[in-house]
Structure formats: C-alpha cells, structure tokens
C-alpha cells in the first residue's frame, strides 16, 4: 500500500503539506490493520495502489468527503466515519463501511464518535448507492459455510483466568485475561487483535425488563431475524447501554448527550413500550477488538488480552459499565466460555528479521501488543535490540507487567526501558517526554534500521508521539521540519513506523 500524499494543488503551504503528508504516512499502518474482505473488486484499485487520504481523525467530515469524491460508495461511506478505528462499532472504519455496502450491516448509527453527522451521511449514501454493490434483487450475501472460526462463526473460548494488573489502591482497573483456544481453528501472530462477542450484564437486563413491564419470555427478533426471547435478545444481541437516535424518537424524548438506555426508560415512566419496536430501536451488539498480548510460541493454545475496564457515570448519574471490559472483569468465570475470533493485522507486525532493532511506545493498555512482540522474540531467541517506552499514572500501582518487564531487562533481552509515570510528580511526564530526553539514541537506532511502533490512545497520545518523533529526527538529523516529516513518511512507507491506536 502506498503512502497517501496531498496533491500539489491542495491549498496548503509547503510546510503544512509536508506535515500532513507525514501525518498520512503515520496512519498507513491503521489502514493496513483494518483487514476485511474486499468488495466490488472490479471497482477497486489494487491493494498496492489504494490510499485513504481521508483517514485522519483530525480532519472535518466535509474535507474527508471531498477527498473521497469519485471513489466507490463504500469508500465515501468510510470517509463519513470518524476515522478513529476505535472498534466501538465492532469493526474498523474500512470494514464497517464495507459491511454496510455489502448489505450485511443495516445499522447506520454505530459510529459513536462520528455521531449524527456520520449516520446522516451514511443514510444519504445508502439511499443513493447501495444498489451498486448489492447483488441483483438486493439479497443478503451469505458467507460460505466452513469450519473456520471467524467473526460470523466465532470460537467459544474457555476463560483460563484473569487478574487485575493495577494494585488495589490504583484509580485504574486493567485486567490480564487468559483464554484457551484448544479445539479451535484460530491462530494468530503478534500484532493481531482478538474480536470478542461479549454479553450484557444480566442485572441491567433485569432492570430494563422491569422498566419495560416485560417478563423476558416475550418473543422478538434478533438482528439476524431469528426468533428469540426478549431476555436472550437483551443479553446477547442488542446494545443496551448507549441509546440510538431511534430510541429517543420511539420514547418521544429530545436527544441528549451522555445518557444511558436505562435513563431514557426511567424518564419514560409507566407508559407501556412494546418489546418488538424497542429492540428495533436499539442497535445490534457488536464485537469488541483487543490487541493480543501473548505469543503462541510462549503460550501454545492460549490467547492473552490486556483489558482496561470502562466504568463511568451517565449524564443522569447512572453508573455505566463498558459491556465487554466488565464482562471480563465482573461476569465471566474461569471455565466459562466467550465467543471470539482473530482479527489479523496486515501491517502491525514484528519486523521480518529477528535481528532488527525495535522501539515500542505503549502507555497504558498500549503495552498489549508489545508484551506479545517481546514474548515472541524471547521464545524465538531473537537477537535484535528491543526498547520499550511505557507510561501510566503511578509507578507503585500502575506498572503493568512490571515483573515480566524487569525480568526481560535483567536477562538482557529488553535493552532499554524508559518509563513515564504521569502522576508521580506535580508536572505530568509522558512517554513523548522520555523520547525527547533520549532523542540522540532513538535517532541512532532509527539509522541502524530500527522499526518504530506505537500502540494505545489515538486521540492525544499517538499525535503527541508522532510530533515527538519528528522533532527528534529534525534535531538529531539536522533537518528542517519538512525534511523530518519526509524522513518519518519514508519510515512508514518502508513499514518501519507502525501504529495500532484506538
């Protein structure tokens, strides 16, 4: 895949153009990790030629859509999305738009960060162009039956165990989750993600049933139009946390940010709501993606995840729990099974040679793929130098996998370890500050052919790290801002700068 660049005619100064070109280059690895089947093959450029210049969360929707002008409908739909590849929809931006275009995904309101602007645009595109890619008659394409475990045919993996990685006094709750893959056709490589079909919280289901004045035995349809009970549907098939525009409409309430489904039902009071229109108005439950934090070489038949538990209060003061993260933390017990599939990443992967130096920047849950990378290199006996940048709130309570990391350092396989504990001192210290402090050595490693990886928060951290990398290249390489941006763009083009951010 080539690195997208702005046309010379684009209304930017040379410095802006160089910066943006560098930024696009940094995003290339995201597109590579999007995966997914290709649709309307005949209309598509080849994998090598295709670029996604709109795949930039910092760009306004109008600008993104302009860049997708003249592209096939699924690419225009992709441009309408928030470009975060956050997984909130159960896909990444590219695969969500392709699923809609194939007619497999009917829900156009799943891009939470894109909000109403995105869903309105998607509706427009679907009305305009869905026939372009649907088979004659608009029939829903069926996936070929196979014994292969995938998104549609997930494997029921047994929970081996899970433990909290933060100390009890921490403000954070990050879980190490171990699943057994024995008996599955699943295989993965370091850098891949695991798709997880979680179940909703039964207590929340019970509360919703009471608010709906339903027993749970009422018959309703699943998103795949199979008959099931209302209780099962609320448990396994539908999103019962974040409300949709349709639910506000159904309940005759004005739309408001940051309310939970349960808040709307409580406000609705005693007026009856039929189960069938209720399930039609909420969105189908989607799988969540997690970067795999183990290596099959080190743990045959297992897959490990590093899950940040999501808990927050809604605008109405209701305590809300992230569906999948609290499924692991609170509900799934050892021996019980969860449906999973592997979401392989084409571009986020170890260097082809075990001798290549690696610089890995992974604060918080961003550590996940690097635990996998390091375990794999250790198990393979690779000799390449490894440098990890890790950060979190406090050293004494939030140093995830501290023992493993320290033992790899002691054994000499983790050559450099740079930590940034943001809340151990008055002034925040982040991974990018440690990078700047170590700029000379980072540049030397890059000049020796090192691969540079970033994983974790997309919104702030990844941009700050990208800027720090360019600053280092400019300062240490004696380059102008434009030359440094071009140097970093070249790294990305050569697959030596890869990001897995969400």
Ligand X SMILES: Cc1cc2nc3c(=O)[nH]c(=O)nc-3n(C[C@H](O)[C@H](O)[C@H](O)COP(=O)(O)OP(=O)(O)OC[C@H]3O[C@@H](n4cnc5c(N)ncnc54)[C@H](O)[C@@H]3O)c2cc1C
Give the footprint of ligand NAP on this chain (CB under 6 A).
Answer: 86-88, 172, 308, 363-365, 391-393, 422-423, 428, 430-432, 456-457, 459-461, 464, 502
Name the DSSP class of 135.
Answer: P
Measured at the CA of 132, the angle between CA 129 and CA 137, to 5 degrees, comes to 110
* Number of residues counted as binding ligand X (CB under 6 A): 25
**Cα–Cα distance between 452 and 355 in angstroms, integer?**
14
The residue within the footprint of ligand X, chosen from 77, 80, 281, 368 (CB under 6 A), is 368
Q: Which does 423 bind (CB under 5 to 8 A by kind): ligand NAP, ligand X, none?
A: ligand NAP
Q: Which does 430 bind (CB under 5 to 8 A by kind): ligand X, ligand NAP, none?
A: ligand NAP
Name the DSSP class of 490.
Answer: H
For ligand X, the closer of residues 193 and 359 by Cβ is 193
Instruction: Note whether 325 binds ligand X by CB under 6 A.
Output: yes
For ligand NAP, the closer of residues 167 and 460 by Cβ is 460
The residue within the footprint of ligand X, chosen from 162, 166, 242, 432 (CB under 6 A), is 242
Q: Which does 85 bind (CB under 5 to 8 A by kind): ligand X, ligand NAP, none?
A: ligand X
Q: How far is the CB of 369 from ligand X (least distance, A)?
A: 8
Question: Is 306 strand, coil or helix?
Answer: strand
Instruction: Note whether 97 binds ligand X by CB under 6 A.
Output: no
**Cα–Cα distance between 258 and 240 in angstroms, integer?**
14
Which residues, in sequence order, are CB contacts of 367 under 8 Å at separation 6+? Answer: 293, 306, 390, 400, 401, 455, 456
**Cα–Cα distance between 83 and 54 in angstroms, integer?**
8
The residue within the footprint of ligand X, chosen from 81, 262, 289, 465 (CB under 6 A), is 289
Q: Which of the residues 110 through 149 are near ligand X (CB under 6 A)?
A: 112
List, as one string, the DSSP characters of 191-255: T-EEEEE----HHHHHHHHHHTT--S--EEE-TT--EEEHHHIIIIIB--SSPPHHHHHHTT---
Of the candidates 319, 401, 310, which has an alpha carbon nearest to the alpha carbon of residue 362? Answer: 401
The residue within the footprint of ligand X, chosen from 166, 306, 419, 495 (CB under 6 A), is 306
Instruction: Note whether 307 binds ligand X by CB under 6 A.
Output: yes
Q: Which does 291 bind (CB under 5 to 8 A by kind): ligand NAP, ligand X, none?
A: ligand X
Q: How far is the CB of 186 from ligand NAP (least distance, A)?
A: 23
Q: Which does 460 bind (CB under 5 to 8 A by kind): ligand X, ligand NAP, none?
A: ligand NAP
The residue within the footprint of ligand X, chosen from 215, 226, 258, 336 (CB under 6 A), is 258
Instruction: Note whether 290 binds ligand X by CB under 6 A.
Output: yes
Cα–chain-centroid distance for residue 388?
Answer: 21
Which residues, in sequence order, are CB contacts of 57 under 8 Å at separation 6+? Answer: 82, 83, 84, 113, 458, 459
Give the residues lining the site for ligand X (CB under 6 A).
85-88, 112, 193, 241-242, 258, 288-291, 306-308, 310, 312, 322-325, 365, 368, 502
């Amino acid at each position: 895949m080539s690195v997208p660049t702005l046309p010379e005619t684009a209304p930017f100064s040379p410095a802006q153009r160089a910066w943006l070109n560098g930024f696009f280059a940094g995003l290339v690895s995201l597109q590579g990790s999007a995966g997914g089947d290709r649709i309307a093959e005949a209309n598509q450029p080849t994998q090598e030629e295709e670029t996604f210049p709109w795949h930039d969360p910092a760009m306004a929707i109008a600008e993104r859509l302009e860049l997708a002008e003249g592209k096939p409908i699924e690419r225009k739909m992709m441009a309408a999305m928030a470009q975060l590849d956050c997984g909130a929809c159960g896909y990444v931006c590219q695969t969500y738009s392709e699923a809609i275009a194939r007619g497999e995904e009917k829900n156009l309101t799943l891009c939470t960060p894109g909000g109403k602007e995105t869903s309105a645009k998607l509706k427009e595109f679907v009305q305009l162009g869905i026939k372009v890619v649907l088979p004659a008659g608009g029939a829903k394409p069926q996936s070929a039956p196979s014994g292969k475990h995938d998104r549609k045919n997930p494997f029921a993996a047994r929970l081996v165990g899970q433990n909290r990685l933060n100390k009890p006094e921490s403000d954070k709750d990050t879980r190490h989750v171990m699943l057994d893959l024995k008996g599955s056709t699943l295989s993965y490589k370091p850098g891949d993600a695991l798709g997880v079909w979680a179940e909703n919280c039964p207590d929340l289901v019970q509360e919703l049933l009471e608010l709906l004045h339903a027993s749970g035995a009422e018959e309703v349809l699943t998103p795949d139009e199979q008959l099931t009970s209302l209780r099962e549907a609320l448990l396994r098939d539908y999103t019962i946390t974040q409300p949709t525009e349709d639910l506000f409409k159904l309940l005759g309430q004005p739309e408001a940010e940051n309310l939970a489904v349960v808040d709307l039902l409580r406000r609705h009071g005693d007026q009856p709501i039929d189960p069938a229109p209720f399930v039609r108005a909420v969105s189908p439950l989607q799988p969540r993606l997690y970067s795999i934090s183990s290596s099959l070489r080190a743990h045959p038949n297992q897959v490990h995840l590093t899950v940040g538990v999501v808990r927050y209060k809604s605008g109405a003061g209701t305590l809300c729990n992230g569906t999948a993260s609290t499924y692991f933390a609170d509900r799934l017990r050892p021996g019980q099974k969860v449906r999973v599939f592997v979401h392989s990443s084409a571009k986020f992967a170890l260097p082809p040679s075990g001798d290549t130096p690696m610089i890995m920047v992974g604060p918080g849950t961003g550590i996940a793929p690097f635990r996998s990378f390091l375990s794999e290199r250790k198990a393979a006996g690779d000799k390449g130098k490894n440098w990890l940048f890790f950060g979190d709130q406090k050293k004494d309570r939030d140093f995830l996998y501290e023992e493993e990391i320290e033992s790899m350092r002691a054994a000499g396989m983790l050559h450099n370890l740079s930590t940034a504990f943001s809340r151990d001192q008055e002034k925040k210290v982040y991974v990018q500050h440690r990078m700047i402090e170590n700029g000379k050595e980072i540049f030397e490693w890059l000049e020796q052919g090192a691969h540079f990886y970033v994983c974790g928060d997309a919104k702030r951290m990844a941009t700050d790290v990208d800027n720090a990398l360019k600053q280092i290249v400019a300062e240490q390489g004696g380059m102008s801002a434009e030359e440094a941006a071009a140097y970093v763009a070249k790294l990305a083009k050569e697959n030596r700068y890869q990001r897995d951010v969400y």
